[in-house]
């Protein structure tokens, strides 16, 4: 969405220039974490009720609605799919539910097609919560070996050098983010996620263990 070729066309992830990198990562038995598209909302009209409204309303330079010169969401996803097809030995972890956070069926279709593909859930809880809980729960159960935990929460906002009271205040919203994740993934009662109320998934201990720990160890050897 930013880099261009000499002819001014956008450079996409399936360009042959990246093939040596993909081959090297695969040969080293490492996984490649790929973030190659924004949420679908990036290409849609601003929706004040949507989970990404605040970001795109405050960062219009990255809002692609009515900007036909930019790559479409579908084009970026198709480019990523071609990489996985061309490099079957390359293990790919799609950040943010593989940029298909709006519909877990779309993620499932890639899982069925590409055994070398996994995703993390970082910063997309709001999209999961807007889909039927039964559908999302079934997705986690069926693909329990292919989904990794993530939040996008970082500790830079609360460095250890801050006075204790200031650090506690800075940590509070970060802690609340984790509490919301745990309530949604583990609980069975209603939970508010980014302004939307939904039922907790109540995932089993087996699925949660894989989500929180085991899948990261499997997809990122040596972790």
Instruction: Give the pLDDT band of residue 154 (cuts 50, 70, 90).
Output: confident
Nearest to 144 by CA among 77, 215, 200, 48: 215
Dihedrals phi, psi of 13, to nearest 5 degrees: -70, -15
Please tell me the distance from the alpha carbon of residue 197 to that of residue 184, in angstroms, as a whole number. 10
According to DSSP, the residues that pair with 7 across neighbouring strands are none
Domain membership of residue 3 (yes or no) is no
Residue written as token pair 């490492």:
30
Domain membership of residue 35 (yes or no) is yes
pLDDT of 155 > 90? The answer is no
Domain membership of residue 34 (yes or no) is yes
Domain membership of residue 188 (yes or no) is yes
Over residues 159-184, mean pLDDT: 90
Please tell me the predicted confidence (pLDDT) of residue 108.
98
The pLDDT mean for the chain works out to 94
According to DSSP, the residues that pair with 37 across neighbouring strands are none
Query: What pLDDT, in 10s, does the model give residues 101-153?
Result: 999 999 999 999 999 999 999 999 999 999 999 999 999 999 999 999 999 98
Nearest to 12 by CA among 79, 72, 62: 79
Please tell me the distance from the alpha carbon of residue 162 to that of residue 169, in angstroms, as a whole number. 10
Domain membership of residue 120 (yes or no) is yes
Please tell me the predicted confidence (pLDDT) of residue 222.
77
Please tell me the distance from the alpha carbon of residue 150 to that of residue 153, in angstroms, as a whole number. 8
pLDDT of 72 > 80? The answer is yes
Please tell me the distance from the alpha carbon of residue 148 to that of residue 217, in angstroms, as a whole number. 10
Over residues 96-104, mean pLDDT: 97
Query: What pLDDT, in 10s, does the model give residues 31-70?
Result: 999 999 999 999 999 999 999 999 999 999 999 999 998 9
Domain membership of residue 5 (yes or no) is no
Residue 82 belongs to domain spanning: 16-219
Lowest mean per-residue pLDDT among 120-124, 173-177, 209-213: 173-177
pLDDT of 157 > 80? The answer is no
Total of domains in the chain: 1
Domain membership of residue 140 (yes or no) is yes
Please tell me the predicted confidence (pLDDT) of residue 174.
87
Domain membership of residue 45 (yes or no) is yes
Please tell me the predicted confidence (pLDDT) of residue 221.
84
pLDDT of 223 > 80? The answer is no
């Amino acid at each position: 969405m930013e880099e261009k070729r000499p002819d001014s066309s956008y450079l996409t992830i399936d360009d042959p220039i990246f093939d040596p990198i993909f081959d090297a990562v695969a040969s080293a038995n490492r996984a490649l974490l790929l973030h190659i598209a924004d949420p679908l909302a990036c290409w849609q009209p601003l929706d004040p009720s949507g989970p990404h409204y605040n970001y795109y309303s405050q960062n219009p330079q990255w809002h692609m609605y009515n900007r036909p010169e930019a790559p479409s969401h579908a084009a970026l996803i198709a480019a990523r799919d071609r990489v996985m097809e061309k490099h079957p030995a390359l293990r790919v972890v799609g950040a943010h539910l593989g940029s298909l956070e709006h519909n877990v069926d779309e993620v499932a279709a890639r899982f069925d097609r590409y055994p070398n593909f996994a995703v993390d859930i970082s910063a997309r809880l709001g999209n999961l919560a807007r889909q039927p809980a039964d559908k999302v729960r079934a997705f986690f159960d069926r693909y329990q070996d292919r989904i990794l935990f993530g939040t996008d929460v970082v500790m830079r906002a609360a460095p250890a050098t801050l006075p204790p009271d200031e650090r506690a205040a800075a940590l509070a919203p970060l802690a609340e983010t984790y509490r919301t994740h745990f309530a949604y993934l583990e609980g069975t009662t209603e939970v508010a996620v980014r302004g939307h109320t939904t039922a907790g998934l109540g995932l089993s201990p087996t699925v949660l263990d894989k989500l929180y720990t085991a899948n990261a160890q499997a997809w990122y050897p040596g972790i």
